[in-house]
Amino acid sequence: MMHAEYNGKDLQGMVLRLEKSSVYDGEGFRTVVFLKGCPLRCQWCSTPESQSPEIETTQDGAITYGKMMTVEEVLVEVRKDSLFYFHSNGGMTVSGGEILAQPDFVLALLRRACFEVIDTCIETSLYADWKIVEPILDVVDSAFVDLKFVTEELHKKYTGISNRRILENLRKAGACNLGEKIIIRTPLIPGVNDSEEELEKIGRFVGGQAHIHHIQLLPYHRLGTDTYRKLGRPYLLADVEIPTPEHMEWCRSVVASSSGLHVM
């Protein structure tokens, strides 16, 4: 019997959805476990249905977001693609919402996946106490860390919270087991965080951390617009222009020259 009894298999978490065969969230083919609940309120958030930790239904009652699942129930789904992981160096990625908002569930899920030799990756803002962050970083194979601003005032204005804890956790992350397997993801929002000054700050901060593998700049998009409408919530950045490829290249060059890192 492969799956012996293990601690935490009955722990429940609020799952938004599972996505199979993703190639954007880590190495190889991945099963991405999207969790529900996030303490941030980024004005550009393209997944507003992931923010509340509660089950939500669209105004017309047609779609329900969120489902309680046990660690074992998630892993039953994840294991189904083991062959794909083996042939592509893929595995399981846990994303949000914010995964650190459900630390016990996430830790149990990651530990069990590691025990079953399933590659593990997380996507997180690192917004949590270090005592929550550290054991999770110690168990994963790689991590995407979303860094939206370095300027605290801008972070507060556009996400609702200070970024002090995030920057501090990113500095400390270098001491964890995953070594240089941290990738920074910065959503590029025109008129919000794409000034030369802010991009240089981001580049200098990230370049000053020895444990960052590379940086990804992700262009702003409006894919969440319809979901805001269905949930009856305002989309504050609905009028922001999509950045052109030329502007993205300029932003990448600014971050690359100020960080000394490869920027995608």
Residue with Cβ nearer ligand SF4 (116 or 152): 152
Shortest Cβ distance from residue 254 to ligand SF4 (Å)?
Answer: 22
Residue with Cβ nearer ligand SF4 (75 or 206): 206
Q: Which residues bind ligand SF4 (CB under 6 A)?
A: 38, 40-42, 45, 47, 50-51, 96-98, 125
Residue with Cβ nearer ligand SF4 (38 or 122): 38
Residue with Cβ nearer ligand SF4 (101 or 212): 101
Residue with Cβ nearer ligand SF4 (100 or 256): 100
Q: Which residues contact 137 (CB under 8 A, 6 or more apart)?
A: 143, 173, 176, 177, 178
Shortest Cβ distance from residue 48 to ligand SF4 (Å)?
Answer: 7
Shortest Cβ distance from residue 45 to ligand SF4 (Å)?
Answer: 3
Shortest Cβ distance from residue 129 to ligand SF4 (Å)?
Answer: 17
Shortest Cβ distance from residue 97 to ligand SF4 (Å)?
Answer: 5
Residue with Cβ nearer ligand SF4 (51 or 163): 51
Shortest Cβ distance from residue 80 to ligand SF4 (Å)?
Answer: 26
Q: Is 7 helix (H, G, I), strand (E, B) or coil?
A: coil
Give me the helix-helix angle, 103-115 and 130-139, nearest 10°. 20
Q: Is 214 helix (H, G, I), strand (E, B) or coil?
A: strand
Alpha helices, DSSP H, located in the chain: 71-79, 82-88, 103-115, 130-139, 152-159, 164-172, 196-207, 225-231, 245-259
- Number of neighbours of residue 11 by Cβ within 10 angstroms: 17
Six-digit token string for 192: 């919000």
Max intra-chain CA distance, the chain: 57
**C-alpha closest to that of 226 among 60, 24, 41, 97:** 60
